[in-house]
Structure 1
Amino acid sequence: MMGRGDGPGAGAAGGPARHVPVLLEEVCTALEAEQAGTYMDGTFGAGGYTRAILEANSHNTVIAIDRDPDAISGGAALVSRMKGRLTLVQGRFGQLDEIAQAQGHEHVDGVVLDIGVSSMQLDEAERGFSFRSNGPLDMRMERDGPSAADLVNESSEAELADIFYHYGEERRARAVARAIVEVRRRQTFETTGQLADLVASLIRQEPGGIHPATRVFQGLRIAVNDELGELVRALHAAERILRPGGRLAVVTFHSLEDRIVKQFFAVRTGRSPGSSRHLPGHVAPKPTFEPITRGPVAPSDEEVARNPRARSAKLRAGRRTETPAQELLSAITMLAELPQTADKRGGRR
C-alpha cells in the first residue's frame, strides 16, 4: 500500500511530522501557486501542499479538506498561524464544490488532490491500515461506518474475491476469499495480524518483493472508504468549481487511481474516443480542460532516493476552459465500481 510519502523531520501542519508531500514543486508549478488566488487542497493530511501554496504567495488563501478527524485536529496550529488565510474543513473531497460554496466561493483558482492513504494513517497501528504492526482491522478514514473487519466477516466469498481482485489487483483473490470464509466459521477476524498471517500462508513472498498481504489490504481499504468513487466525484466537483483558467493537479500512487484520472483528462480535453467526436452526426462537446502535463509527471531519482514512498507517484494536471461543466462520465464511474458478478445476481459465480 503506497502512502503519500514520509521521512524524518518533515514539515507539517503545526510542527514536525513524518509526512513529506510528493512531487511538491511540480504540483505548485502546475497550479501556478505563485499567482495570488483561492486554492483547494482536497487531501490536507499533514498540510504539506497547503503550506507550500500559502508560502508561494502571501495573498493566497486555501480551503483544505480531510475526511480524517485526526488530520483536522492536527492542522489547528497552522490554521491559527495563517490568520484567516486557511480554512480547514472535515469532509469528503467528492463534495469539494459544495464545501467551497458553503465557504462563500462560487469558483476557485486551483485544486490539488493527493490520492490514497496518508503516511500518518499507515504508521498508526490503531488505525488498522497496515500489517506492519498488529492492530484492529479498521481502515476507516472517517472512523465511522463499516470497518474492514465488518467486510471481512460479513461479505460473501464472491464479494471478497471481487474486492481483492478488482481493487487490490490480487491474482489469488479467490483463494484468499475462500480461506477467509473457511476460517471465519471458527473465529471472527479482528486484527490486521490475523488477516496478514492468513494471506501470507497462501501467497509466497518473492525475494525482495512486497508483503503477500499488500494487495489484499489495499483492496479492503479502497472498498471501506469508497476511494475510487470519491475520486470520480472529486474530479467532476473540481470541474464545476474551477474558474476558467483554474488548474487541477492530481497525484496518484497506483494504477487504479491513475487510470481514472488519465481517462477523465483524456475525455475532458477531447483526446479520447470517449468524446465520441468521430461518430457520424455526433457533435462532440467542447473540452472543459486543456492539458498542462503531457502524460504523467514522475518523481525524480533524487526525490525517490530521499523518499522511497514517492517511487510510484504520478502527477497529471489540466487547465479549466470556459466550457460549462459536463455531466458525470458514466465510463469513468464504471472504472470505480466492482463488477456485478453472477453470485450477486443470485446465480452461481
Structure 2
Amino acid sequence: MYGQVAAVRNLSLTVERGEFLTILGPSGSGKTTTLMLLAGFEAPNTGDIVIGGKSVAAVPSYRRDQGIVFQSYALFPHLSVRGNLEFPLEMRGVKQKDRSARVERILNRVHLGDFGDRMPSQLSGGQQQRVALARALIADPPILLLDEPLGALDRNLREQMQGEIKTLHREFGITTVCVTHDQEEALTLSDRIVVMRAGQIEQTDTPESLYDRPATRFVANFLGEANFLDDIGLAVGADVPQSSETIAMVRPERIRIWAPDAAGRGFADDRQEVSGTVEEMIYAGPLRKYQVRVGHAQLIVREHVAAGQQVFRKGDEVRLDWLRTDIRFVTA
C-alpha cells in the first residue's frame, strides 16, 4: 500500500526454478512494486513471499542473497571493475584468493577480461551493463532480478545485450525475474510473460501464446498491434465460436493488401475480404505499415518489403483479406 492506494492487489504468482519470467506492463501497472517486493525493498501488507521453500517476506533485502541489476547499473564509481565484482564476494566472506579467481572467470565470460582495472566512468553503457550483470551473477544467487536492465541503452546495443542476457541465463540457469515495459524485449527474452494492469495480473503465458492468443483487448493492444473488427460490420467467421462478451481481432501481419484488380488474387471460402482506402503508408526498413480506412474503422496492415512488390500510397483503393482461422476473440 502507498497511503490508501494498493499498488499490487491479489497477486498470486509462481516462478519455476531456472525460468526466465518477465513482468510486463505500462507505468503504474504494479510491475516495479512487484519486483521491489521480491527484492525486499518493500514489504507486503498481507500474504507471503516464498523463495526456495522459505518465507522471506520479513527478511531484509541485504539478507536475501539475490542478484539485482538496475536500469542505472548502480556501480560503485570509486571502485574499479574488479573492485565492483569483488565487493559482493567480500561481503559473503569469500577468501581473497578465491575472489580473484572468480572475478577473472566472470570478466572473461562477459568479454571484459582486459577491463578489470578501469573505473566505471571509463566504460561505455554496454560495458557498464556487462559489469552490472557480472556483479549480480558472481555470487551464484538463487534468483536474479532485473529492473528495466536495458532501458538506458540505444536500440542496436539493446538488441545486442538481449542476446547476451539470453545466453547468460541459459549458461548459468539462474531463476530470473525481469521487469520491463518494452514488449519486444519481453518477447525476446522470456520463457513466460506476466502482463499486469492496475496492480493485477491480466494474463500469464508463453510469449508465443500471449501474442497469438491474447485473452483480453488490453493484452492484444499492449503486446503488439491489433485490429478489432467490431466496427467494420462483418459477419465474422473463425475457428472458435464468438460470444456476446468477445471482440474479433486480427494481427496486422496476418492481413494481405491488394490492388482491387490484382490478377490471380482470387477469393477463397477460408478468407474474409474487405475494401478500403489507404490513409497512410509508413516505410520502416524491412516492413511497410499501411493504415487503411474501412467504413468507420481503420485497419493496420504490416507486410515485409520484397522486390517487385506493389506499393500503395495515400488515397489508393485497396482490397484486404485474411484467413478466417487467423481471427482471435478477446474479451473487452
TM-score norm. by structure 2 comes to: 0.29
Return the structure number with greater strand share.
2
Q: Provide the TM-score with structure 1 as the length reference.
A: 0.28
Greater percentage in helix = 1
Q: Which has the larger radius of gyration?
A: 2
